[in-house]
Structures are given as structure tokens and as C-alpha cells.
Amino acid sequence: MGWKLENTYTRLPDNFYTKTKPTQVTAPQLIIYNEELAESLGLDGTTLQTDTGIAVLAGNELPEGSIPIAQAYAGNQFGNFTMLGDGRAVLIGEQITPSGERFDIQLKGAGRTSYSRGGDGRAALGPMLREYIISEAMLALEIPTTRSLAVVTTGEEIFRETKLPGAVLTRVASSHLRVGTFQFAHIFSEEEDLRALADYTIQRHFSYLAQHENPYQELLKEVIRRQAYLIAKWQLVGFIHGVMNTDNMTISGETIDYGPCAFMNTFDPETVFSSIDTGARYKYGNQPPIAHWNLTRFAESLLPLLDKEEEKAIKLAENALDTFPKIYTTYWLDGMRAKLGLFNEESGDQKLITDLLQAMIKYKADYTDTFIALTTKKLDGAVLFHSEEFLEWRKQWSERLKRQEVDEGHIYAKMKENNPALIPRNHLVETALDAAVENNDFTVMKDLLDALAHPFAYTEKQKEYAEVPVPKTFYQTFCGT
């Protein structure tokens, strides 16, 4: 099958993980399989789809070299600190690709572990398919993300509010190191264990930092930069994660855990979809400051390594954390300039962007569709485009475009490269999931995935997927735990 597994994580102190075999399932069936990802991992796609391959994807068999573990970590869940860990996921190993890269292979929904906290360790089909759809859409949108190799059904039912078909998702990640992993090490382990974790992280993800005088300070800076970039990318496409707990924030800077996530339709910073986010902690407009808050927890965990003197360590951490707003704003402004066809920088750009967004809020404009209309120059239909505010803004935008002395062809080409013609609209995702779960029809999902694979193509075929939905007064997403 092409498996070349190691598990360097098991070289860390024993308290960071528990050796755990996946729970056997009765009748695994392959539902969807990511051929392109399998090839990049060096896996034989033909063999992987046989009974033997499916047994591995279900957790019934383990490939040679596998040391299956559940990882320990902690986290602030909606602000409240708690001990956590992989309650329904088993890391079977790290695949070494033909190019020498290393990726975690994790089975999500693989049964109980010592961190299950009374749960059954299983996953329902719908949430696993949601993660597959959204993670692949995020990749196509050029947003750092974990990926999905396959989803198999288990032939068993699980019990939530109702009976649901069980499933296992094979998740692929640069690693599953989280802010919560460092919180666990800081709170529940000795300093030498924390240092071992930090050294492992640097070796695995940031080897170029090892030669610095203070590599742990540089680690903090690099994680801050990567998270600033990631959150800016989320904001630029209207993505709302829904559960930005510290255990869902990777050190690598990849998006992880697609539970109650959704994409914003009508532009409104107050937008929240998650049924469990009753206080709107993780609403769209809060994602940058929450990322900053989470990074502060990361910095706190690193304090013993930053300097032996606590006061100096705190100062180093504060100096690094103070850079987050500027780094985030720079990434976001660069992205917004690209969405508006701007090639250079002017001091008034932020106001130009903010004025447009404020008008979009006032006239309840669709976020994605507004930028599509600007890109295609089809400024009709929406109330926004006939408003005084927009007409004045458009005049200012036109003058700004002229000042950069770039021809119109290049301007609109740049906009096309940065404004997706379609996103995984919530109603389309729900339709695909309903067809799969309720009717055992997976063609709707596969057609949607095909359309989402090239979001910047602006093809005729994509138009049926790009249609703005009729506004709903209420839409919720659920965690699926």
C-alpha cells in the first residue's frame, strides 16, 4: 500500500500520549477517497481501496511500522481551562512521503481512549463528511489546512440525539501539536518535559530556528506569524471556525477541526453559527482577537524556557505578542488590496476598505458575491450597488486604481485570483450531507467537491454553485462530537 510509517512523537516523555489501538468495527465501507492526496503521500491508491486497505482506514488493521497512540493535551474551551486529549482519535503514525516530508495520519472516530471522558469515541458520518468537504475547499482557497484522505462507514450505528451511521475519517496533518499540547506540558509536566516538547516542535517544524541564541523566543515569534497569516486568510473569505479553543489551534499554522464551522453569507462581523457558542465568543469579528488571546496562552506556557528570570521571560513574551495585531493587519490589508485590484500601498487604503465593508453591513450585502460583482463588473441587482455610499465609494476606488498606473487587464486578473467565484455555501454543504446521510446518495457531495476544487476558475458550470441563497433568519452548525 506504500505505508512508510514512523512515530517520533513516542520518543517524547510517556505522559504526552497513551498507546491505544483503534476499536474494531463490523463492516467498513469506503465512502470517499482522496486520490490526489494519497499519491502525494506515496500510497498505492488501488491497494488502498481493497478490503485490506479499507481495513486500515477503518482501524481494523494497522500498517507495518504503526505505533498507534492517543495524544494528551489541555485547552481553554470557551475560555475555561480543562484537561483534554484525543477522546475519539488515534494517531497511527507519521507517513514519510516520497519527497521526504512527514505527515501525521490520524483516524478520527476510532473508538474510546483514556481521554474519552465518558464518550463513546465514535464519530457520525455527517460531521466526518463535513470535515472532508470543508478541508478540501480550504485547500483550494489556498488556506493552510489539515486534509482528509478518506471516510469509511463502520456498519454500526452511534447514538447522539438519534441513531446515526458511524464513520471514521482519516485526517492528514503536518502534525497535531497544538497550543493545548504546550498548556498540558506547562501545567501537568516538569520543565524538562516542556523543553523536550519545544525541542521536538522546533526539530519537526522549524529546524531553521535551532541555531538561534534563544530558539524558544523565535518559536513563539514564528507561531504568532503563522497564526496571524491563517486568521487573515479566514477573514478574507468569510470563514468562521466556530470553536477556536486553544486545543484547536495548531503550532504549524494549519486549520484543524471542522466541527461547527461555516462560511458567512451576508456580511456582518457579529455572525456566529455554532450552536455551542452561546456567548458569541467565536463570532467572525472576534477571530483575530481570540487568536491573540490563544497565543498569549501559548506564550505563558513557554515562559520557563524564554528566560530563567521570570520578569525577563514575561517581557520577551509581551514583546512578541505585541507584534500580532500589526502582523495580522498587514496580512489582512495585503489580502484586501488584492481583492480590490491594488498593486501598491497608500495610506488611505484601510479607510477605503473599511468604507466598503461598512456599506456592506448597512445594506446587508453578501460578502462573497459583492467581491465577485466587483471582479466581473456586474454591479446590478444588490441594493448596495445603488446606494449613495457605494456610488461615492466606487468613485474613490476608481481614482485609486488610476493612481497605480496598472492596466485594467492586470487589475481584474489580480482580483480574479483573489476573489473566489464560489465557496462551500452552507446550504450546499447541508444538501450534500443530507443526501449522503439520509439517502445514501454520495453523488451530490462528489459533484460539489468537483466544483469547489477550482474556486478561482469562474466557469459557467460553477454558477449553479455560486448562487446566493435566500436569506435565512436562523442557521446553526453543530459540533458533531
Q: For residues 481 and 121, what is the distance between their CA atoms, to the nearest angstrom?
A: 9
Rounded CA-CA distance 306/284 in Å is 33
Which pLDDT score is estimated for 118?
Answer: 86
pLDDT at 248: 97
Amino acid at position 114, single letter: S
> 86, 104, 247, 257: which is the annotated catalytic residue?
247
- Residue spans of the domains in the chain: they are 5-173, 179-331
Task: Give 10-residue mean pLDDT values along the chain (481 residues).
Answer: 95 97 97 97 94 97 96 96 96 97 98 93 96 98 98 94 94 98 97 98 97 97 98 98 97 95 96 90 98 98 98 98 98 98 97 98 97 95 95 98 95 98 95 96 97 95 85 58 47
Judge whether 247 counts as a catalytic residue: yes
Task: Identify the CA nearest to 314 among candidates 241, 442, 217, 239.
Answer: 217
Task: Tell me how far CA of residue 55 lies from CA of 48, 96, 169, 243, 386, in angstroms.
Answer: 9, 21, 13, 31, 58
- For residue 259, the model assigns a pLDDT of 87
Query: How far is residue 316 from each of residues 18, 226, 300, 366, measured CA to CA in Å?
Result: 34, 18, 11, 42
Q: CA neighbours within 13 Å on the CB side: how many for 175?
A: 23
Q: What is the pLDDT of residue 395?
A: 98
CB 23 within 8 A of CB 121: yes
Nearest residue to 69 (alpha-carbon basis) of 159, 158, 185, 175: 175
Q: What amino acid occupies position 341? A: G
Question: Any idea what DSSP says for residue 385?
Answer: G
Q: Give the span between the Cα atoms of 444 and 158, in whole angstroms.
A: 24
